[in-house]
Amino acid sequence: MFLPINSEEARKRGWDELDVIFVTGDAYIDHPSFGIPLLARWLEFHGFRVGIIPQPDWKDRESFTVLGRPRLFFAVSAGAMDSMVAHYTPARKLRHDDAYTPGNRHGARPNRATIIYTSRLKEAYKDVPVVIGGIEASLRRFAHYDFWEDKVRRSIIFDAKADLLVYGMGELPLLDLAQRLRQGEPFGEIRHIRGTACIARGSEASPAGVELPSYEDVSSDKGKYAEAFRLISGEQNPHCARTVLQRHGNRWLVCNPPAMPLAEAEMDAVYALPFAKAPHPSYREPIPAYEQIKTSLTTHRGCFGGCAFCAITHHQGRFIQSRSIASVQQEVRRLTERNWFRGSISDVGGPTANMYGLRCGDASARSVCRRDSCLFPRPCRNLVMNGRAAADLLRKVRGISGVKHVAVASGVRYDLLIRQPEYMKELLAHHVGGLLKVAPEHAVDRVTTLMRKPGRQAFEAFLEMFRRESARLEKRQHVVPYFISGHPGTTLADMVELALFLRRSNLRVEQVQDFTPTPGTLATCMYHTGIDPMTGVAVYVPRGDREKRLQKSLLLAHLPGERATILQALRACGREDAAGELLGRAADAVRGLPRSRHGSR
């Protein structure tokens, strides 16, 4: 049975009042891949009456009252993506689709959805606490650079005027809050829950902890912004993190240490909840996000890679939290009982598929570690990364009756894969389907260092192993590499070197990701400040549509429509000598085009 989305459905359950009402910018898909249904089911499992208001009309206050007044609080999320990322391209152009909406239609949620939803709820129910969370609130919990306004904004809890912010994955802090409220503790007195942040007056803020440069300082001084980011990065390990404080005018943001990682038994309990594994029956159009994950399995969460452009570590955490193999097997057996299941599982993985079962092998080291990454600049000696558990998982999943094919679509860390021969053999023999997606992101070592990624040598070693193993298996398999253009530290000359590397390695890209400065990432800090906050060294930042367009085109030399733009890029950085190798005979056809007065077309 689905959780109620209106009063009539609540009454059918015999509920005349709900304890917690979730408001989300996504359609309601009762599947563990979506955060709000997962958290709502988690609270329901612990005895709370829970409802969901999916994609309310933010222009109509009444759409926020369809479930009435909750007894404890409203819980607000913009959805599975930051609403600004969902709405705009890296060129700040409006997108025309939304995979989390029926019919793939744009416009079902507002810009800055967390702020708008909270405002509407406060208008309708002034005395009901509002708790904000999800990826948008989580990554905007401190004063942060906003790419779409090109300025530093306050912590989102101030702009939303929310009563509490839950960051990270949310199961433990949200349950702790709900249970304490159920026991009669006043909301205003609950301030010290791990994985939460709140607002305090000067006299209320705890003196113990790490004080960041103030909002006023970071918004006016880029050096202070970089300092604040460095301090925040040092407080991500829940085993040793301290409270972090940041002054905003005469008030303080008080951010408690992160929630502890879920134990295996807790992960198993979460994914054993009675999800319908389907969109709410009120929807009459397909929802693309559901179609993509319909037969996928989440085996773990978290990532210890620490890539500069990625926010997973700041949201899901650096420690890998894995389900037991028995838990995953049970989910697969339930999946095979669905009348629409045809035998194919679309994905077995998490943020990085081959991190399943990996862990820190030294508890004493883990309790004091402040590294941003277990892999960069070199793998930590305490990291257990052999991949045997992940290989065993794949064998047991594909051995279940009713399963015909199992894919791994999550993507893999190739620098880990070369250290996991058993997993690599399983993967290439049974789970690739001809194409394996990996993300080297670049091949110039100075750039990959800024990205916190392994360099060219590691990628070349992986390519050699992949091709050798595929040949041994007598399989025609290929690597699909993903790269980023326009990342801080990347020049046009660097992109030329990358393009030449691709040509010489017989690789083609399917897509090139134009770097977008999303909230909370190291790369966004570099983009805004022009500084690597961890070293204090200045970083070149490519800006402007023209340079970003030229950088992106260099990786698409196999497309005829990009050839003239590629020659522009080569002329702009004095590398016309590379035209013949990149473009072949096509270079002669475009060399004759007249130069602009800037030396490009």
Specify binding-site residues for [4Fe-4S] cluster: 303, 307, 310
Where is 257: in which H helix or E strand? none
Is the separation of the CB atoms in 21 and 64 below 8 Å?
no
Where is 191: in which H helix or E strand? none
SS3 of residue 490 by DSSP: coil
User: Tokens 């367009």, residue?
Assistant: 549
CA–CA dist 118, 463 (Å, integer): 49
Is the separation of the CB atoms in 550 and 569 below 8 Å?
yes
Is the separation of the CB atoms in 218 and 224 below 8 Å?
yes
DSSP string, 131-163: EEEHHHHHHTSSSEEETTTTEEEPPHHHHHT-S
CA–CA dist 456, 308 (Å, integer): 17
Give rounded-to-5 percent helix, strand, coil for the chain: 40, 15, 45
CA–CA dist 258, 168 (Å, integer): 7
Cβ-proximal residues to 384 (8 Å cutoff; 6+ apart), any chain? 358, 359, 360, 361
Question: Environment class of residue 15 by beta-carbon count within 10 Å: exposed (0-12), middle (13-18) or buried (19+)?
Answer: middle
SS3 of 13-77: CCCCCCCEEEEECCCCEECCCCHHHHHHHHHHHCCCCEEEEECCCCCCHHHHCCCCCCCCEEEEE
| Binding-site entries | 303, 307, 310
CA–CA dist 329, 464 (Å, integer): 33
Q: Sign of the C-alpha dihedral, residues 443, 449, 452, 455?
A: positive
Is the separation of the CB atoms in 202 and 251 below 8 Å?
yes
Q: Sign of the C-alpha dihedral, residues 483, 168, 534, 251?
A: positive
Q: Give the pairing type, strands 50-54 and 210-211.
A: unpaired
For residue 308, which of 142, 161, 490, 155 has the smallest C-alpha distance? 490
Cα distances from 309 to residues 183, 241, 437, 443, 533, in angstroms, run 42, 22, 18, 16, 14
Q: Determine how many CB atoms are found less than 10 A away from the CB of residue 141.
A: 27
CA–CA dist 363, 351 (Å, integer): 24
CA–CA dist 478, 480 (Å, integer): 6
Distance of CA 373 to the CA centre of its chain: 16
In DSSP terms, 513 is beta-bridged to: 484
Positions of E strands within 471-592: 478-485, 512-514
